[in-house]
Structure formats: C-alpha cells, structure tokens
Structure 1
Amino acid sequence: MSLLENLHLGHGFRKYFRIDAALDETLHDEVFRIRHEVYCEDLGFEPIREDRRETDEHDAHSVHCLLRTVDPAHRPVGCARVVMANPADRSIPLPFERACAHALDRTIINPAKLPRERIAEVSRLAVRKAYRRRKGEERLSASDVRDEDFGTAEQPRFPYIPVSLYMGTIAVAARHGVDTLFVLTEPRLAAHFAKLGVRITRIGGPIEHRGTRIPSMIDVQDVIANMRTLMKPLWREVLAEIDRSYESQER
C-alpha cells in the first residue's frame, strides 16, 4: 500500500477546511487581506497598502477561491484566483503572456490563437505564514509543495492546502467553460503533482519572476477525467463546495 493510500483525502479535507468561490465583497475582502499579508508584508513582492488589501487590475475579471478552517472562527488560510480574459477586450494578454512573451514555446501551444473565452490563468496563490512554514524553518514562499509534505510510508501526510486551492481553481474553470489553465509554477511543482495524477505541461523556458518560474498549462477536462482514484474523494469535496458557493449566490 502506498503512503497516500493510507489517507482518505475527502474526509481529511472536510475535517479541517472549507473552500469557497469568493463571490461577494466580504469574501473578496478576506482574499485581498491574505494576499496583502503574504505578498506585501511577508515576502515584500508588492508595496504595503494603506488599506492592507492587495489588489490589481486583473481582479475585476477574476474568480477567487478562499480556503478557511471549519472551526467556528472560519479562520482564513489561503487563496488563489482564476484570471479570465478581459471581457471588455479579450485580445488583451493574460498576465503570464506578458511575463513570458520571450520564453513561451509556441510550437507546443500559442495562447493568442486559442478561443480567448476558453483560457484562463491561475495566479496569486497565497497561504498565510502560520499554515506554510514548517517548525524551525525560516524559508518562506507564497506556497509550494515539497517531497516531505507527503510524509513517509509509516507516517503519511498530504499537502491539503495547496492541492485543494489548485483543485478549487480547476472547479471554477470547469464551471466557466475554460478548457486550458495557464500557470507560472515553481520548477518542481509538475513532478509533485504528477504523483497525484495531475498533469502539468511545461510550455516554455524558465523566467525570473519572484524566483525561477516555469510557464505551464493544465488541461482542465484531462485532469478531471484522469484523476487518480485516490484523489477523487478530495476532488468531490472541493467541487461540491465550489458549486455550493455559486448556488448560494444565485438564490
């Protein structure tokens, strides 16, 4: 039995966390405050804002995911966003298209030639310091996945926080008819996600963007159709919670 087969991922997730599509101003505010804490205060990637909310021009046409604890306080844990093509002018490049203009291998895929309403970008994935720093460790990043996050055969564990946030973005993308998600990833992320049966395809050379980043893509329907059996309970939990967010908003 593999180390992950010792875990029931759906049960483990709902024991500690909940995930929502942030569809109202209250949840938006929580997302922007997490981003300020991580990107401005902890990492210094963005300037400190007087209102302690980190926002940019892409938020107006993005859907945000918010991860919180299930305890009564619903403490914010992390967030991510799906940046859609700008509805005012879909030819406007997504953020990664500008950042990676000279690094993309357009023989693999050319985002400019795809139906713009069917592509999006995952960005601003951020996890609060208390939930991402390991005991005795000073190294900080917005969020990453490492070998030790999977534990050992004797003491397995699972990186629920980043994985559930990525799953949340996939659920949002599927709901909005997005076929292809683009993302700037840390170099080892694709290998870590391959362990989970999630294929992330490299589509260009490395760039320097808050560290070394690789332009990559995720085929939304391929991930859903070919998800490992082990991962499906977690996917069902995340999908159900994202769906509930939209249903609540529609009432």
Structure 2
Amino acid sequence: MFLSNLTELTISQGYRRFFKVVPALTDELRAENYRIRHEVYCRELGFEPERPEGLEADAFDAQSVHCLVQSATTGQYVGCARLVLVDLDKPQAPLPFEIGCEATLDRSIIDPMAIDRSHIAEISRLAVIGSYRRRQGEQNRPISISEEDFGTEKQPRQPYLALAVYLGLLALARHYGITTLFVLTEPRLAMNLTRLGVRVQRIGGEIQHRGTRVPSMMSVNEIIDGMNFLLRSLFEVIAREVRDGLGASDEYAVRARHHPLV
C-alpha cells in the first residue's frame, strides 16, 4: 500500500472525521442493517427479491453478530456486514459457505467439520449504500477494495469505509474468540485483500453464486499480528468503538457466555 506519506495520527484522524463502526446488537440497529442490505442486495443489485417491509434477512441472522458503519457527519448508516457464528446448540449445522461449496471444498486443506467449530465464523452480507460506491464500474458490487482505492504513491488515500467494514468484523471476531474466518467472495476481492497484508487462502473450487465466487479462509491472529503500524492504529480505533458498543448491550453479555472473549 502507498502509506509512506501517511502517519499514524493522520490515518486515525481521517477515519474518525468520516466514519464510526457501531455493533448492531439491538433490534433497532439490526433493522438498520437489514434496511441497508435490502437497499443494496434487493433494489440496487437485484440479488434478492424485494420485500414489502424493506428488510433483507435470512435464517442465519439469528446466529450472527452484525455491525454498521455510520457517517460521522450525517449520522446515516451507510455500510453493514455480519459474522455468522456456529450455532453451539447444533455445532455440526453448516455455515452458509459450507452449504454452497459442499461439492467444491478441498478438505485436504481444511475440513470445517473436523475442527473446533466454536472458534470459526463466516463473513457475509457486506454492503455499502450506492451513494458511497462512487468508483466507476463498482455500482454493481456491494463493496470491494481495489488498487485504485489507495491512490498513487504521490497522492495516497485510504478507503476508509471499506476498511471500517473489514476491520470492524475483525474486531468482532477477536472479541468472540474466533480464530478462523471463512468468506465466499469474488476472486478479485480475495486478491485485493492482500493489499492490506491479509493472507487469504483459497480452500476450494469456484461456484456460481451472484457471479463467480471462491471459498477462502483467513487467520484472525495472523491478520492482526501482521498489521503494519499504520493499519494497526486504525484497527485499534475501530476495535475501541466495537468494545464500547458491545459493552453497552445487555444482549452481548448473553452471547459472550457462549463465545467467550479472548
């Protein structure tokens, strides 16, 4: 990444000027999450049918923890994502990617059914409202990070919104004791995540799901330990926002008993 001209202070200040990560642990905040998903996945992209109530939700939301990204200037919620946790009452129940990739997972790399499933989760339903997806050609994608997001060596810039979504999920994963994250994503996005120093390991063949998708996995500790000092400073700001949001919720305490903090 072109970070040589940036400082720890400027990257943190730049983020705080524009955005804030908010864990969506109340019914009201989850509804905001579902509204964004409906706007993006149903109305803008046509991935799902439109629903009269204007909310896009599925059966996995009940076992998920959600986060929102809020505009610091308007207060509007502009992005969202979720971590799908394993249902510890039914630990062998598959996560979404296990269902979609049942025939293509390479279990010689990893067999999700053969490891401690209380420490795995799946990233999904990442979405950013259309007015914040300004880069040409990206209107038909929920969210992405690409080389252009980082500007040039002389004019570096940070994709704060996309970073907020990903780092917010990472902070949630750390809080819930998740060590391995799975994601079903475009090959291009998996490749671009490497620009953040993230090692994304492909674990199976391609499937067709809203285009070509591949299953991949990431190590939470490896990502955090491998952050350079600039990205780490931004992550710590976002992690503090996540901790503050989680600590204010009674529901979090209930979930934490099943997914202890690390």
Q: Please say whether Structure 1 and Structure 2 have the same fold, judged by a TM-score greater than 0.5.
A: yes
Instruction: Sort the Cα spacing of 1:202 and 1:64 in 2 relative to 1 into closer, same or farther, 3 A.
Output: same
Provide the rounded CA distance (Å) in 1 between the counterparts of 2:166 and 2:84. 13
Aligned length: 248
Unpaired segments ≥5 residues, structure 1:
none
Deviation of residue 189 (structure 1)?
2.2
Instruction: Sort the Cα spacing of 1:123 and 1:107 in 2 relative to 1 into closer, same or farther, 3 A.
Output: same
2:127 pairs with 1:126:
yes
Provide the rounded CA distance (Å) in 2 between the counterparts of 1:139 and 1:52. 20
Provide the rounded CA distance (Å) in 1 between the counterparts of 2:247 and 2:138. 41
Instruction: Sort the Cα spacing of 1:165 and 1:138 in 2 relative to 1 into closer, same or farther, 3 A.
Output: closer
Provide the rounded CA distance (Å) in 2 between the counterparts of 1:215 and 1:9. 31
Q: Secondary structure at the match of 1:66?
A: strand
Q: Is the 8 A contact 1:79 1:127 kept in 2?
A: yes
Given the alignment, which residue of 17, 24, 27 partners 1:15? Answer: 17
Q: Is the 8 A contact 1:19 1:66 kept in 2?
A: yes
**1:31 matched residue in structure 2:** 33
What does the per-residue CA deviation read over 1:42-99, in whole Å, with 9 as the maximum and x for residues that have no partner? Answer: 011111111100000000010001001112x311110000000123311110000010
Deviation of residue 139 (structure 1)?
4.0
Provide the rounded CA distance (Å) in 2 between the counterparts of 1:156 and 1:180. 31
Q: Secondary structure at the match of 1:93?
A: coil
Structure-1-length-normalised TM-score? 0.94
Provide the rounded CA distance (Å) in 2 between the counterparts of 1:218 and 1:228. 17
Provide the rounded CA distance (Å) in 2 between the counterparts of 1:232 and 1:18. 16
Provide the rounded CA distance (Å) in 2 between the counterparts of 1:75 and 1:151. 26
Deviation of residue 138 (structure 1)?
7.0
Deviation of residue 216 (structure 1)?
0.5
What does the per-residue CA deviation read over 1:189-208, in whole Å, with 9 as the maximum and x for residues that have no partner? Answer: 23322222122111111211
Instruction: Sort the Cα spacing of 1:185 and 1:9 in 2 relative to 1 into closer, same or farther, 3 A.
Output: farther
Aligned letter for 1:196? L
Q: Tell me how large the CA RMSD over aligned residues is.
A: 1.6
Higher mean C-alpha displacement, 165-174 vs 48-57? 165-174
Deviation of residue 242 (structure 1)?
0.4
Provide the rounded CA distance (Å) in 2 between the counterparts of 1:128 and 1:139. 10
Provide the rounded CA distance (Å) in 2 between the counterparts of 1:218 and 1:128. 26
Unpaired segments ≥5 residues, structure 2:
254-262
Q: Is the 8 A contact 1:104 1:205 kept in 2?
A: yes
Aligned letter for 1:82? L
Aligned letter for 1:237? V
Q: Is the 8 A contact 1:117 1:178 kept in 2?
A: yes
Q: Is the 8 A contact 2:85 2:120 kept in 1?
A: yes
**1:3 matched residue in structure 2:** 2
Provide the rounded CA distance (Å) in 1 between the counterparts of 2:139 and 2:48. 18
Q: Percentage identity across aligned positions? A: 46
**1:237 matched residue in structure 2:** 237
Q: Is the 8 A contact 2:65 2:82 kept in 1?
A: yes
Provide the rounded CA distance (Å) in 2 between the counterparts of 1:209 and 1:127. 19
2:89 pairs with 1:80:
no
Q: How does 1:131-170 map onto structure 2 within 5 Å?
A: 131-134=132-135, 137=137, 139-170=139-170
Deviation of residue 104 (structure 1)?
1.0
Deviation of residue 154 (structure 1)?
2.0
Q: Is the 8 A contact 2:201 2:217 kept in 1?
A: yes
Q: Secondary structure at the match of 1:239?
A: helix
Aligned letter for 2:156? P
